[in-house]
Structure 1
Amino acid sequence: MTDVLRLTEHRPRRRVCLSAPQAALLAASGLVTVAPEPDGLWRVNADREMVGSVRLSAGGESIELVITPKLAVQRLFFLLGYAQTGMTWHREAVDVQQHDDLVPAVAHAFARMCERALGQGVLMGYRTVEESAPVIRGRLRTAEQIRRRYGGLLPAEVRYDDHTADIAENRILLAAARRLMRAPGTSPGTRALLRRVAVRLDGVSALPPGRQLPVWQPSRLNTRLQNPLRLAELVLNSHSYEFGEDHALRADGLVLRMWQVFEDFVTRALAESLGAAGGRCLLQDRRFHLDHAGTAQLRPDLVYEPPGAGAPAGVVDAKYKRSREAGSHTGDLYQMLAYCTRLGLREGHLVYAAGSGVTGSRHRLHGDPGITVHQHVLDLDTEPGVLLAQVDAVAEAVHPTKPRTTALPIIGSF
């Protein structure tokens, strides 16, 4: 039977030799769709907009699933930087072009980033410790001492600040290094680098499984760690996909939702571009409802308010799918119509990840007053500078800084 199943995002693979338990594992994961074919073979399709590598196991059966993104890894890596609060990983001296799969590229990049950052020494910090001690150190917790040891002097209930490497930043880095060492597809050379990271972080305590990541704040002291920390958070949070009620299913690896990566890139890059003109951009704005009772909440990807306006002037929704000619994606038009109607706007903007339609085209919808929905298409498989220039063009359409000199083509009416 198949031990390693390699797929490409949105491309079905036919006549796959799987055992019935392996097919059940894949179906239970929700990462792919599985359908039987003649002669006991299977058709597997990576149509859930997820990419990465994961080892699935339950009841003694296991299979390693690798889903390669359609987008080149170095392009995807650039998008991930914006998905993680705008960190520009593509500017790091990390060679990800040599990797065709996502997980080896992420593991190698993380190991190299940590090697450079920790090469200057492990970051130390102060951590507040409360404990029972045989000697008084720091401050005596009087109330706790009386409550727990009334009449006794020792041990003492004390609180003090300890200068240690066991801080939130180092805990996150250590947890990510250990997870990537276990991830399928990580090369022996990268695993050796990750082991060196773990050795440098000796004395740092492990994160309890299932707990939220500790909170850290960017500062001058941890500047050199911020890029690897953002990437570590991406690795550790990638385990958040659900497996329904099948608690026996175990998964080890790294899986990313491509629609979320695209949405985060578009909104953060647009917010950065629109920010040059002032005002504010609200991401996933939850202030508005479609009904008066407030039960039908709207959540547009981005709402732009220019300086001093106090009201929305633009709305954008990102779609990780291919735009097409008139007559398709009617649901997207309904959604944007609801946004514009509720926000009192005459224009709305849809941004697609690819398409055969005309970039910058528009749909003029029926109604009084009429609403125009602009359709934009980004070419993700291009250089970062060119892609950001495309985003700037979308920002210019959302909030023009100068009058348009040419009319946009009208795709159709609705």
Structure 2
Amino acid sequence: MPERAPVRLGEYGSAPLECDQLTPRDVERLHALQARGHLTLTRERAGWRLKADATVGVLVLDRVRVTIAPKFAIPGDQLMSWLAYALGTPVPVTARRWATGPDGYADLVAAALLEECERLLREGLRRDYVHRRSVEPVLRGRLDVAAQATHRYGRLDQLHVRTFDREADIEDNCVLGSALRAALALTASSDLARALRSTADGFPQVPAPAAALRSLDRTHYTRLNARYRPAHTWARLLLRGGGVTDLLADLGTPADGLLLAMPALWEAVVRRLVAESFGPHGGHLLSVGSSVGITVRGDLGNASAFRPDCLLSLPGLPGHGTAQRTLLPVDAKYKRYDRHRVSAADLHQLLTYGSGYAPVEAPAAVIVHPQPGRHDRRVLQVRGPKGLLGTLHVIGVDTRTTPERATEWIGSALR
């Protein structure tokens, strides 16, 4: 692996780069990432300036290795817990060994994949019937008559056969081998790289990363391969360069990297927090599709829609009977609303949600934002000349605690 100069910056931070530190290919890849909102590259008199947006992770370029550390809301030692919570997968125990390093995030995800793959090797890789065509000196399986007649012209010294044997060379295993090798380019730890290489040798011949991703996208889990789900989750994260199905709508990065968009992560966290907080009390999330969205028609262009991140259906209010349920819109905001007042744009957005979904007599909506250090809750009341327009609950979730404790707190705060 060639030596690359380390460049470290924090989330929303920036760092200068000299002209010769970026190749033309690097500039092209960074501009592609800029178009997707991951970072910003600007030209300066003495070189370049690279600025991160709400993105954390690692980016391996031709001459530099860029590490973007979480700085805004989720501490580095807690990022893995919240990421695993959003993905609905357990946090691997041995991955914590790499938690304190300067390149902790990329190494943590690689270590998580490593632990799951080692577990699969200990339990024994799944085998399934694989169809093969081969030339053998003796008959195995079925004779391929057409191939024998057209290629051997009646000779029987070599037989074209079709076999159907149980092997470990199946997609469930091949995609993990591909992900283990992709992780080698991202990790900065020699011990971790050695372990990844050793474990990858235990998996069958691997496809290209693009083919592995296609295989993962069409994977269906049954009782036969359910134990592969955690390993496939981390493999998908690595192979997409940070994009996760149902977490990010990113097709991957054009450079070797593992970049995670924090607003998308926070939306996934809030969605699960709300669902688990109110599930035991009769609440459940509704799908905010076109049939229940707030739409705007009659303007130029196509109709636009307003859809909250979460729409919570709650048991009926006292005095309204048990059949009538209450809708509560919840929006995830990856902003420092523990330090700043709620912006006018967010106030207008949440008031629209409240008037569109909540009861007419008590329009309400909820903002959930990250707040390192402690939980917090405040209630905003918006009034007009004719009275109350809506109530906005601003909930700050302590990201230094565990997701399980945050679930308990957010439920008690909103109930």
Tell me which interval the TM-score lies in, with the shorter structure as reference length: 0.7 to 0.9
How many Å separate the matches in 2 of 1:44 and 1:205? Answer: 35
Structure 1, unpaired ranges of 5+:
150-154, 401-414
Which residue number corresponds to residue 337 of structure 1?
351
Instruction: Evaluate the alpha carbon distance shift between residue 161 and residue 392 of structure 1 in structure 2; reply closer, same or farther with a 3 A threshold.
Output: farther
Instruction: Evaluate the alpha carbon distance shift between residue 339 and residue 161 of structure 1 in structure 2; reply closer, same or farther with a 3 A threshold.
Output: farther
Which residue number corresponds to residue 53 of structure 1?
58
Instruction: Evaluate the alpha carbon distance shift between residue 318 and residue 242 of structure 1 in structure 2; reply closer, same or farther with a 3 A threshold.
Output: closer
Length, aligned pairs only: 370
Which of residues 97, 102, 107 is equivalent to 1:95?
97
How many Å separate the matches in 2 of 1:212 and 1:87? Answer: 21
How many Å separate the matches in 1 of 2:378 and 2:222? Answer: 44
How many Å separate the matches in 1 of 2:373 and 2:289? Answer: 30
Instruction: Evaluate the alpha carbon distance shift between residue 3 and residue 172 of structure 1 in structure 2; reply closer, same or farther with a 3 A threshold.
Output: same
Q: How does 1:192-203 map to 2 (within 5 A)?
A: 192-201=194-203, 203=204
Instruction: Evaluate the alpha carbon distance shift between residue 194 and residue 132 of structure 1 in structure 2; reply closer, same or farther with a 3 A threshold.
Output: closer
Alignment of 1:305 with 2:313, yes or no, is yes
Q: Secondary structure at the match of 1:276?
A: helix
Instruction: Summarize deviations over 1:96-148 as a string: whole Å, max 9, x none.
Output: 43433211222223223322331222122345x4979998968x9xxxx9xxx
Structure 1: which amino acid aligns with 2:303? Answer: T
Q: Secondary structure at the match of 1:366?
A: strand
Instruction: Evaluate the alpha carbon distance shift between residue 20 and residue 192 of structure 1 in structure 2; reply closer, same or farther with a 3 A threshold.
Output: closer
How many Å separate the matches in 1 of 2:288 and 2:209? Answer: 31
Does structure 2 conserve the Cα–Cα contact (< 8 Å) formed by 1:126 and 1:162?
A: yes
Aligned-pair RMSD on alpha carbons? Answer: 4.0
Which residue number corresponds to residue 13 of structure 2?
11
Instruction: Summarize deviations over 1:368-400 as a string: whole Å, max 9, x none.
Output: 663111000111123x1xx433333323444x2
How many Å separate the matches in 2 of 1:292 and 1:42? Answer: 42
Which residue number corresponds to residue 70 of structure 2?
69
Instruction: Evaluate the alpha carbon distance shift between residue 87 and residue 242 of structure 1 in structure 2; reply closer, same or farther with a 3 A threshold.
Output: closer
Does structure 2 conserve the Cα–Cα contact (< 8 Å) formed by 1:325 and 1:356?
A: no
Q: CA deviation at 1:92?
A: 6.3
How many Å separate the matches in 2 of 1:207 and 1:262? Answer: 31
Structure 1: which amino acid aligns with 2:6? Answer: V
How many Å separate the matches in 2 of 1:282 and 1:156? Answer: 57
Does structure 2 conserve the Cα–Cα contact (< 8 Å) formed by 1:83 and 1:268?
A: yes
How many Å separate the matches in 2 of 1:373 and 1:238? Answer: 36
Does structure 1 conserve the Cα–Cα contact (< 8 Å) formed by 2:94 and 2:115?
A: no
Structure 2, unpaired ranges of 5+:
151-158, 316-321
How many Å separate the matches in 1 of 2:101 and 2:288? Answer: 34
Which residue number corresponds to residue 44 of structure 1?
50
Instruction: Evaluate the alpha carbon distance shift between residue 83 and residue 243 of structure 1 in structure 2; reply closer, same or farther with a 3 A threshold.
Output: closer
Which of residues 113, 118, 123 is equivalent to 1:115?
118
Which residue number corresponds to residue 269 of structure 1?
273
Q: CA deviation at 1:67?
A: 0.8
Structure 2: which amino acid aligns with 1:230? Answer: T
How many Å separate the matches in 1 of 2:164 and 2:55? Answer: 44
Q: How does 1:176-255 map to 2 (within 5 A)?
A: 176-183=179-186, 185-201=187-203, 203-207=204-208, 209=210, 212-214=214-216, 215-238=218-241, 250-255=254-259
Does structure 1 conserve the Cα–Cα contact (< 8 Å) formed by 2:273 and 2:410?
A: no
Q: Secondary structure at the match of 1:10?
A: coil
How many Å separate the matches in 1 of 2:288 and 2:180? Answer: 31
Segment drifting more, 227-236 vs 323-332: 323-332
Structure 2: which amino acid aligns with 1:198? Answer: A
TM-score, scaled relative to structure 2: 0.74
Alignment of 1:381 with 2:400, yes or no, is yes
Instruction: Evaluate the alpha carbon distance shift between residue 282 and residue 193 of structure 1 in structure 2; reply closer, same or farther with a 3 A threshold.
Output: farther
Q: Secondary structure at the match of 2:99?
A: coil
Q: CA deviation at 1:28?
A: 4.8
Identity %: 25
How many Å separate the matches in 2 of 1:56 and 1:243? Answer: 19
Alignment of 1:289 with 2:293, yes or no, is yes
Q: CA deviation at 1:156?
A: 10
Does structure 1 conserve the Cα–Cα contact (< 8 Å) formed by 2:116 and 2:231?
A: yes
Q: CA deviation at 1:316?
A: 0.8
Q: How does 1:332-411 map to 2 (within 5 A)?
A: 332-345=346-359, 346-354=363-371, 359-366=376-383, 370-382=389-401, 384=402, 387-398=403-414, 400=415
